[in-house]
Structure 1
Amino acid sequence: MGSIGTPAPAPRGFVLHKKQIDAMPLENFSNNSKRATGGWKQIFSSPDTPTDGLNLGIAHFPPKTATQESFEALHRHKQAEFYYILSGQALVKIDGVDHEVGPGAALFIPGDSEHGFWNTSESEELVFIWGFPCDGFRDVVYRFTGDKAEDAWSRKENAA
Structure 2
Amino acid sequence: MGKGTVVHAAKVATLYVDETYSSKMLVDQTNSETKNVQINMGIIAPGAKHADHKHDSSYDEVYLIQQGRASVRLDGVEHELEAGDVVFIPGGSMHAIANRSDTEELVIFTVWSRLPEPGANPVYDLRLQEWGRSYKTVDEK
Mapped partners of 2:68, 2:82: distance in 1: 6
Tell me how far 1:63 sits from its aligned partner: 1.1
CA RMSD of aligned residues (A): 2.1
Max Rg structure: 1
Q: Superposed, which structure 2 residues align to 1:18-57 within 5 Å?
A: 18=8, 21-29=9-17, 31=18, 37-57=20-40
Tell me how far 1:23 sits from its aligned partner: 2.2
Tell me how far 1:49 sits from its aligned partner: 3.5
* Worse-superposed segment, 117-126 or 39-48: 39-48
The answer as to 2:91 corresponding to 1:91 is no
Aligned to 1:12: 3
User: Which of 54, 60, 72 in structure 1 is aligned with 2:50?
Assistant: 72
Mapped partners of 1:11, 1:27: distance in 2: 29
Tell me how far 1:139 sits from its aligned partner: 5.5
State percent identity of aligned pairs. Answer: 26
One-letter code of the match for 2:12? M
Distance 1:71 1:137, change over 3 A: farther
One-letter code of the match for 1:14? T
Mapped partners of 2:81, 2:13: distance in 1: 26
Aligned to 1:4: none
Tell me how far 1:15 sits from its aligned partner: 1.6
List runs of 5+ in structure 1 lacking aligned partners.
1-9, 65-69, 143-152
Tell me how far 1:71 sits from its aligned partner: 2.4
Q: Superposed, which structure 2 residues align to 1:101-140 within 5 Å?
A: 101-134=81-114, 136-138=115-117
Count residues with an aligned counterpart.
Answer: 126
1:104-151 CA distance string (max 9 Å, x none): 1111011010101110101211011110111x3456614xxxxxxxxx
Aligned to 1:148: none
The answer as to 2:124 corresponding to 1:155 is yes
Could you tell me the TM-score, scaled by structure 1's length? 0.69
Structure 1 contact 91–117 (Cα < 8 Å) conserved: yes
Structure 2 contact 4–32 (Cα < 8 Å) conserved: no
Partner SS, residue 22 of structure 1: helix
Structure 1 contact 138–155 (Cα < 8 Å) conserved: no
Structure 1 contact 77–140 (Cα < 8 Å) conserved: no
Structure 1 contact 25–41 (Cα < 8 Å) conserved: yes
Structure 2 contact 54–95 (Cα < 8 Å) conserved: yes
Aligned to 1:145: none
Partner SS, residue 155 of structure 1: helix
